[in-house]
């Protein structure tokens, strides 16, 4: 069996010309997310009295939430790449080339979560008072396409005739989407005992509950990213080389915001014969607001096999 001597392909020309390649490795999909959200039903809303319209007092109102959170999330997974390119060695030492290709990701979504529960005793007219609990559950998702095209410029030098070291820089393109979904649950309850409860809760409900879903979403937010990296390739024979390649990608930031209406709960009171009495609890209008933003980066390490066309 014939053995190919390294001298047969130990030439700078091995890295000159067109090439095609593929790679497989791992990546870290990183998102730095900040979300701010509010739920506000604390505006005073006038109630009514079943006794005398001159005796009415405002509703006591059932809740307010300000949930702000920041999370840095890293998702490690596998990925692949395929590319074509052209390179040229000058003066048997320096190298310049370009590649056009696509990355294929297994990890396309990062999720940030936060919860909040606030409890208030908002009745100011009755000794026993009332109790409101507002629970907020927030989820922010950042997603990208599984396929991502890129183009790189390579500059390098030959360590020896069969080993090339290079730096690279380029751009990529992906569709980055951000979505925040908040679920609010407002729960108002009269805290009364004995005869007071028997009398009052026979007139109106002593409990009110409401749920609201609010979303802030940004669709089709195509982003140009920037890539930098380095690598090293060694020739196995006159046509086939293997390489180790590192890439750091960073994208333009993405954000969205929304404002909407929801439903909260409250307990209402009246003044009757100079004795303040809670009449009952009910649902009331509320306002929601969400704003979010995220920075997205990706680090990739891959082993590659490259075929040089002669």
- Quick check: 216 and 234 in contact, CB under 8 A? no
- Quick check: 249 and 172 in contact, CB under 8 A? yes
Compute the radius of gyration of the chain from its Cα atoms.
32
Within-domain flag for 3: no
Within-domain flag for 123: yes
Within-domain flag for 49: yes
User: Structural domain tally of the chain?
Assistant: 1
* N- to C-terminal Cα separation, the chain: 24
pLDDT tens, N- to C-terminus, the chain (310 residues): 444 444 455 566 789 999 999 999 999 999 999 999 888 865 444 443 333 344 444 444 456 778 889 999 999 999 999 999 999 998 888 999 999 999 999 989 999 989 888 776 644 444 455 677 888 899 999 999 999 999 999 999 999 989 999 999 999 999 999 999 999 988 887 766 555 555 556 556 677 888 999 998 876 678 889 999 999 999 999 899 999 999 999 998 888 889 998 888 877 654 444 455 545 677 888 889 999 999 999 999 999 999 999 7
CA distances from 265 to 67, 119, 127, 188, 205 (A): 19, 13, 20, 6, 12
Within-domain flag for 9: no
Q: How far apart are CA 265 and CA 269, in angstroms?
A: 14
Within-domain flag for 6: no
Within-domain flag for 30: yes
Within-domain flag for 50: yes
Within-domain flag for 271: yes
User: 177 is in which domain, residue-wise?
Assistant: 14-308
């Amino acid at each position: 069996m014939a053995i190919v001597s390294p001298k047969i392909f130990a030439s700078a020309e091995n890295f000159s010309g067109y090439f095609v390649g593929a790679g497989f490795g791992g990546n870290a999909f990183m998102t730095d997310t900040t979300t701010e959200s509010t739920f506000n039903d604390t505006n005073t809303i006038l109630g009514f009295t079943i006794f005398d319209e001159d005796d009415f007092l405002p509703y006591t109102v059932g809740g307010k939430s300000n949930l702000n959170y920041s999370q840095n999330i890293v998702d490690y997974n596998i990925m692949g790449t395929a590319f074509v390119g052209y390179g040229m060695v000058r003066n048997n030492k320096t190298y310049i080339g370009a590649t056009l290709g696509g990355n294929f990701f297994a990890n396309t979504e990062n999720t940030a979560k936060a919860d909040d529960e606030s409890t208030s005793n908002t009745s100011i007219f009755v000794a026993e008072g009332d109790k409101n609990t507002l629970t907020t559950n927030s989820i922010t998702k950042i997603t990208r396409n599984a396929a991502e095209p890129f183009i790189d410029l390579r500059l390098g030098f030959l360590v020896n005739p069969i080993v090339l070291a290079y730096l690279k820089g380029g751009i990529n393109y992906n569709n980055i989407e951000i979505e925040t979904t908040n679920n609010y649950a407002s729960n108002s309850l009269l805290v009364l005992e004995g005869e007071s409860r028997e009398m009052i809760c026979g007139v109106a409900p002593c409990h009110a509950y409401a749920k609201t879903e609010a979303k802030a979403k940004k669709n089709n937010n195509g982003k140009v990213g920037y890539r930098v990296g380095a690598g090293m390739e060694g020739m196995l024979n006159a046509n086939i080389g293997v390489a180790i390649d590192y890439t750091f990608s960073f994208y333009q930031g993405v954000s969205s915001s929304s404002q909407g209406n929801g439903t909260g709960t409250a307990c209402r009171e009246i003044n009757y014969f100079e004795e303040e009495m809670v009449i009952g609890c009910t649902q009331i209008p509320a306002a929601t607001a969400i704003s979010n933003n995220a920075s997205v980066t990706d680090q990739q390490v891959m082993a590659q096999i490259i075929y040089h066309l002669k």
